[in-house]
Amino acid sequence: MNIKSYRPRIRKPLLFVSLLMPVVLLLSACASATASPAPAVAVKPTATTAATLPSDTPTAAAAAATEATINVATDAKLGQILVDGKGMTLYMFTKDEPNKSNCSGGCLTSWPPLLTQGNPTLGPGVDKALIGSADMPDGTKIVTYNKMPLYYWFKDTKPGDTTGQGNKDVWYVVSPAGEAVGYTPVAAVTPTSDTSAAAATPTSNTSMAASSEATIDVVNDPKLGQILVDDKGMTLYMYTKDEPDKSNCSGGCLEAWPPLLTQGNPTLGPGVDAKLVGSTTLADGTKIVTYNHMPLYYWYKDVKPGDTTGQGNKSVWYVVNPAGDAVGR
């Protein structure tokens, strides 16, 4: 056979497949490109999806969970008294007015109000007819009983505690009848001529002054240096918003920052400069000790000697050094 004249045969089916392959690949690529947007359409938000967003229901539930509860408990010494749902004692403030709280600022820190959403839960023995509420300055509502607002006392730490009873002769536990247990209004005590004469006796006044007279000492605090304290080691503070020989702390402020009172002759320990000691009169007629013309106070959160938790409070309360300066101001 003549080699030059030989031409191999190409099978037509194989040629057709070879020509068709690029077209198939091209069509597959196009199909993939046009199919990819489909998921985006599938997750388009619907009205049903929007309806599943959080609502105000949890807030309403939280409000219901914090509604006040008032029960009656029997105290071994005080008899039947009002308590909350956990057995914590409730008090009234005799300086309040009907349906009006006169406790504010630091007073509310020491005497937290029993707040309500308007529908307190009442236990057996609680007189529903005596229940009400009063508006506080911050918009919250305090429960009233026999028109008097109800409070807790911060030093009561467990059910049954009544450590606030008779505090400053203005705070009292409350009976189911709505009365301040153990409280005798001043107007109910009618002075007699004999009583007045006894009150005017210099000897009795002197004895009272001696038993309650202030003491000022100096201690060395590891961080603050030498500072003023009382005879029990409780820290004394000055209020930088006071003026020389004038206290600008009143009402609730004095609840949180009790004054160091004097009858006019404080006892002074070593290191206290007698020339810097004086006094000024408060609104109720009592006298507060001054040091370098600035009134001296305690801080209610200091619970033991050496505590200085009031230092720098709100950048206006500071411990005092023997020179009469506000330490760290």
Tens digits of residue pLDDT in 157-188: 999 999 999 998 899 999 999 999 998 764 43
Going from the C-alpha of 122 to that of each of 116, 125, 126, 128, 177, the distances in angstroms are 12, 8, 6, 7, 14
Cβ–Cβ under 8 Å, residues 66 and 115: yes
Would you say residue 310 has pLDDT above 90?
yes
Lookup: tokens for 329: 């101001």
* Mean pLDDT value across residues 181-206: 43
DSSP annotation string for 209-273 = HHHH--EEEEEEETTTEEEEE-TT--B-EEETTSBTTB----THHHHHS-B-EESS--EE-TT--
Bigger pLDDT: 266 vs 205: 266
Task: Show the CA angle centred on residue 191, arms to residues 186 and 195, nearest 5°.
Answer: 125
Spatial separation of the C-alpha atoms in residues 136 and 144, rounded to whole Å: 12
pTM over 0.75: no
Kind of pairing between the strands at 171-173 and 215-221: unpaired
Lookup: tokens for 125: 């023995």
* Mean pLDDT value across residues 127-147: 95
Per-domain boundaries in the chain: 66-186, 211-319
User: What pLDDT shows up at residue 151?
Assistant: 97
b/e sequence 227-244, b meaning 16+ C-beta within 10 Å: bbbbeeebbbbbbeebee
What's the mean pLDDT when you consider all of the chain?
Answer: 79
**The dihedral of CA 44, 47, 50, 51: what is its sign?**
negative
Reported as type and span, the H/E element at residue 12 is helix 12-35
Instruction: List the single range of 109-113, 184-188, 316-320 with lowest mean pLDDT.
Output: 184-188
User: What pLDDT shows up at residue 192?
Assistant: 38
Contacts of 264 (CB under 8 A, 6+ apart): 209, 279, 287
Tens digits of residue pLDDT in 89-109: 999 999 999 999 999 888 998
Reported as type and span, the H/E element at residue 172 is strand 171-173
Bigger pLDDT: 79 vs 201: 79
Highest mean pLDDT among 8-17, 33-42, 313-322: 313-322
Going from the C-alpha of 229 to that of each of 7, 134, 185, 258, the distances in angstroms are 122, 40, 35, 14
Residue 216 φ then ψ, to 5°: -125, 125
Residue 134, SS3 per DSSP: strand
Kind of pairing between the strands at 277-281 and 69-75: unpaired
Tens digits of residue pLDDT in 230-283: 998 999 999 999 999 999 998 889 888 999 999 888 999 999 999 999 999 998
